[in-house]
Chain A
Amino acid sequence: MSTEERFVFVACGAAAHLEALEIALRHLRKFADNPIVVVTDARRNALPIAHDRVIDSPAPEALSDAQAAIFLKTSLHRILDPEQRYCYLDTDVVAARPGVDQVFMYRFGPVTFATDHCRMRYFSPWAVDCGCLSDRRLAQAEALNALIEPLDACPPELVDKRRRLQTKLEAYSARYRSPAPELAARRETVRRLLERSAGHPLQRRAALLAFVLPRFGARLTRRLWRGGDPTQAANSVIDDALGTLPEFIRRELGFDWRLDERRGYDEAGRLLLTDVPFYVAKQSEFRFDEARDEWVDGAGERVFHGPCDHLRAAIAEDFGVTITDPDWQHWNGGVFLFDARPDSEAARFLDTWHELTLQSFDLPRWKTRDQGTLVAAAWKHGLQDQATLPREFNFLADYHKPGLSFDAVRGFSFAGRPGFVRPYLVHVYHHWGDRDWAVWRWLETRLEDQESES
């Protein structure tokens, strides 16, 4: 009883942000019993904030409004009553049903976040200006990402196994890319011949080329010795090699690559790898251009390079934080639990997040967001394996997410996955306020419903 649990929003600047706050506040007041605090920089506000607990905490004038909001968010522990516990909410997070207060039960560590809707590699181009993403194609890229990620996913229990497999594949790939002159010459021969045998489904796979390569030279020489068209001979050698590929992969890599399905399974028959470009091309206009090493749309225009490692590199180079898992499931910054006591591990974490974020404002390659620096802070404090909030407490309702369905009674569902999710807190991604969107219409009705927690 001596420690109270409180919700906290941060909002400042343009009217749109403060109007969003007003909506989020109305929902939260309806569904939560715990007190709600709003932190703002009132000097910047286009509209007054109608709430009974508002803390005005000026951010440095030099910061933009977006930067100021992030500044306040990452320094909440220095602004709020240190004796209480908090749940931070972005202003686009909307309470949708009774029981929201339960979120405080899920304090799994000094700070507790929910997972984001994609993994770090996919988020990377949104966090840093690495050239992998064109801003004007943002929505298109998000849609493509949403297609790729489920195909590229595997069950959590197999993540480590797949990582080990990918490490091996990368080793093969590195061998293929080796600068050794004799390999370079062979590689060029292979590439040339492969280009002439365009259309072979596996040609783009560097790892598989690495498999073909060692078998190529001698066999090709033998075929050519017997006479015949060089291209045909090359294709024949490649087909032979690929014919033994599944056996080779099973032996060398310990998994079962099924050419017909274009999927790889472990010894227990569990899906490990999918030929993502093949399936994306089947489902959409997007395709992966091997020669350009990038994803393109139907018109051949670059969308983005696909998942990239630039965020991890930037974190290592700019902040000296090493992330050993390039495929880490990073956190979403929209909802998180924390303590504000100055001597707490939570405060130390938030200090780190704050400092790294401020640094990032001055680094040209960093976009004005707090989520990339959140990755750095999590790893710096060794929290990367900590459990995350159940998704019901930060459900990312993404307008562009293919396969995400909504039923006003039963809740959200994902294509191919059983069951429904009935979120307490809905994080609205895109189309905020769009009454043509069933999710938004439903959220509006939530304020009218008289449903009680019990």
Chain B
Amino acid sequence: MCGIVGQVELRGSVDRDRLAAMRDSLEHRGPDDAGSWLSPSGRVGLGHRRLSFLDLSSAGHQPMPSEDQRLWLTLNGEIYNHRELRRQLEARGHRFRSACDAEVVLHGYEEWGRGVLERLSGMFAFGLWDDQEQELFLARDRFGIKPLYYFADGDRLLFASEAKALLAHPAVPREVDWTAVCDYLVYRYVPSPKCIFKGLAKLPPACSLRFGREGTLTVREYWTLPPGDRQLPFDDAVTAVDAQLESAVRRHLESDVALGSFLSGGYDSSALVLYLDRIGYRAETFAIGFTDWPGSEHRYAELVAAQFGLEHHSRVLGPESLALVHRLARVYDEPLADISTVPTFAVSHLAARRVKAVLSGEGADEIFCGYTWQRDFMSTLGAPAAGNPSTNDLVAFYAGAMAMGSFDRDRLAGLLHPDLHAHLPDDPWWFYRGLVRPELPPLQRIQWLDLKAFMGELVLTKVDRASMANSLEVRVPFLDHELVELLFGFDPEVYFRAGEQKPLLRANLAGRLPESILQRTKQGFVGPDSYYQNVAWYRALLGDSRLVRDGVLQGPAVEALFATADHWRLWKVAVLELWYREWLT
């Protein structure tokens, strides 16, 4: 896992020191090594910070050239099927100089061109300069596990793993896109391709970008999921999932250093531990708990770790942990209003003391149907008797399910200063609306929204930044694309049962995990409500708000949030306030 940066100048040349400054602003993503490459013409520069897992030698140094130096690559991520691809490529005459997965991307691009993307299994974001074609090729993995930002102004294109690296370049203005602020208040995040900073963009998941010599910029989506219609007896599906999940976990262990695992004591992380045990891999496990709270998960995690005899580490947070939001304002260079950022950062910090990478259970709820709103949907709009839900109904349902202090247009107008009302969206739910795929079965329409919106934009961003701020790589076996394609290939009736949580996963865990774990209901990775519902804390933070002083928010509207103890909206405003102080003042 690493941090990457790059720059292509259409007229001028790349400043080596500025490129290094951009690169080193991402040191947390790769403290093990640093490298830069400037093209002989001086028009192209790539940079890389390395957190090394495979081939720890200098042979893995990046940016990495092809043998003939036609291609130069800077890659962030892991290619889990690199051995298989290496065999295929060697059979076609390619010769490798290292054991690194990055080299597979280079040779794969030589062999298959942009078609290499469809063959890669893993999490990645990379920039590849093709000197022959004079073209920059950027790509991001299917689910958006790894981030990629870019900036293009007609004279140049800059790209980086995090926005902070782009902001380190003097050509990039530090200005707010106020429409993105509206989006943030609506969604809790700024959806791709938009960015909170004007002029910056995020390459959406499963997309590639070409930047040619004339400054032409083309974005293409290279992967999607077809509708599922495969019928299979439940027991056969259980067996198929079992095999694929074991294979996914095994592939995610690809590393020359020891890996650990997050463990909450819920279904998903416990499943990972179970499969690790079956494979014979002894991973240290890491959990977060909260003081004076019966719902604290760390006790469940201890149960599971004890069952498998694993070395387990817990950290118990108190109310003081809310202070971490001050640090998270720097970690997340766009505002992200999810309360689990705090424990995610804390568990990453804990794990990073022992290991360089962990497995984590993200994605399981999306593909196995673990979310309450998926079941709510199937008992209402998605029920067979309800007919085919309209896009408007589906968007309204999903917006309601995701609410957590949502803002519609009127609420946005009430909160934002009138000077900014020109930026209010006509359709606050434009992002969800654009993701609705009427050709999918109703349940899969919701799952697709979960994969692309909630998970792709919020959950994976949350995990990537919190972990990488601690120089920790998080691997997510449930997002092995073959596993996802297997699940999505089924008719939803195969894997969905009303009133039952993740039946296909549960069936694979039954009898292998303590009953107290199997009986648990879904719980978010958050602390007690009392932590987040402390109006005095919000008052202390927002009572003299710079957003209000600077004419971004209307003071009486913020006061009204205090008066009504509107915690979720206060949380959003608090995160925005700290982000604003960190990056704009």
Q: Which residues of chain A have a CB within 8 Å of any CB of chain B?
A: 1-3, 5, 33-34, 98-99, 101-102, 104-108, 155-161, 268, 385, 387, 389-393, 422, 453-454
Contact = CB atoms under 8 A, between A and B. Distances in A.
B318 interface: yes
Interface in B296-317: 298-299, 302, 314-317
Given A1-B356, A105-B349, A108-B327, A454 B540 contact: no
A387 B540 contact: no
A155 B543 contact: yes
Interface string B200-226: 000000000000000000000000000
B541 to A, nearest CB: 8
Nearest to B327: A108
B31 to A, nearest CB: 5
Interface size class of B (residues with CB under 8 A): 35 or more
Contacts, number: 78
A454 B352 contact: no
B76 interface: no
Nearest to A34: B353
The 6 lowest CB-CB distance pairs between A and B, nearest first, are A157-B543, A387-B326, A390-B320, A454-B314, A157-B544, A392-B320
Nearest to B578: A387
B318 A106 contact: no
B346 A3 contact: no
Contacts of A268: 559
Given A1-B352, A387-B323, A387-B326, A156 B302 contact: no
B250 interface: no
B482 interface: no
Contact of B32 (A2, A389, A391, A393): A2
A33 to B, nearest CB: 8
B471 A453 contact: no
A415 B320 CA distance: 20
A102 B288 CA distance: 12
B354 interface: yes
Contacts of A387: 323, 326-327
A268 B323 CA distance: 27
B542 interface: yes
Given A155-B539, A156-B543, A387-B326, A2 B314 contact: no
Contacts of B289: 454
A422 B318 contact: yes
Contact of B542 (A1, A2, A102, A157): A157
A157 B349 CA distance: 31
Contacts of B314: 453-454
A157 B536 CA distance: 10
B542 A106 contact: no
Given A2-B471, A105-B324, 19 more contacts: A1-B352, A2-B32, A3-B471, A99-B316, A105-B327, A105-B345, A106-B327, A155-B540, A156-B543, A156-B544, A157-B540, A157-B544, A158-B543, A158-B544, A387-B326, A389-B323, A390-B320, A391-B320, A454-B299
| Residue in A5, A108, A390, A454 with the greatest tally of chain B CB atoms within 10 Å | A454
A112 B355 CA distance: 25
A2 B323 contact: no
Given A108-B327, A155-B540, A158-B544, A2 B31 contact: yes
Nearest to B330: A108
Contact of B316 (A3, A385, A454): A454
Contacts of B354: 1
A453 B316 contact: yes
The main secondary structure of chain A at its interface with chain B is loop
Interface of B: 31-32, 289, 291, 298-299, 302, 314-318, 320-321, 323-324, 326-327, 345-346, 349, 352-356, 471, 539-544, 559, 581
A390 B352 CA distance: 22
B284 to A, nearest CB: 12
A5 B353 contact: yes
B573 to A, nearest CB: 13
Contact of B346 (A1, A102, A156, A454): A102
7 contacts: A1-B356, A102-B321, A105-B324, A105-B346, A108-B327, A158-B543, A389-B323
A447 to B, nearest CB: 20
A392 B318 contact: yes
Contacts of A98: 316
A102 B317 contact: yes
A101 to B, nearest CB: 8
A159 B327 contact: no
B498 to A, nearest CB: 37
Contacts of A5: 353
Contacts of A453: 314-316
A344 to B, nearest CB: 11
Given A105-B349, A157-B542, A454 B302 contact: yes
A107 B539 CA distance: 23
Contacts of B315: 99, 102, 453-454
Contacts of B356: 1
Contacts of B327: 105-108, 387
A102 B346 CA distance: 8
A232 B373 CA distance: 78
Nearest to A33: B353
Contacts of A158: 543-544
Contacts of A33: 353
B544 A159 contact: yes
A5 B470 CA distance: 12
A376 to B, nearest CB: 23
Contacts of B317: 102
A393 B541 CA distance: 20
Interface centre among A33, A385, A390 (most CB of B within 10 A): A390
Contacts of A107: 327
A101 B352 CA distance: 13
Contacts of B291: 422
A385 B578 CA distance: 12
B545 to A, nearest CB: 8
Q: Output the residue of B315, B316, B320, B540 with the most chain A CB within 10 A.
A: B320
Nearest to B322: A390
A387 B581 CA distance: 11
A98 B544 CA distance: 35
A156 B326 contact: no
Interface-centre pick from B316, B542, B581 (highest chain A CB count, 10 A): B316
A276 B98 CA distance: 73
A3 B470 CA distance: 10
B375 to A, nearest CB: 33
A302 B559 CA distance: 45
A108 B326 contact: yes
Nearest to B291: A422
Contacts of B471: 1-3
Nearest to A83: B31
A390 B323 contact: yes
Contacts of B541: 157
B326 A157 contact: no
A1 to B, nearest CB: 5
A385 B581 CA distance: 10
Nearest to A2: B31
A156 B32 CA distance: 41
B511 to A, nearest CB: 27
B31 A156 contact: no
A101 B471 CA distance: 17
Nearest to B345: A105
Contacts of B318: 99, 392, 422
A34 B315 CA distance: 14
Contacts of B31: 2-3
Contact of B355 (A1, A156, A389): A1
Nearest to A4: B353
A106 B544 contact: no
Name the residue among B291, B298, B315, B540 with the largest chain A CB count within 10 angstroms: B315
Q: Which of A161, A268, A453 has the most CB of B within 10 A?
A: A453
Contacts of B326: 108, 387
A104 B302 CA distance: 24
A63 B131 CA distance: 63
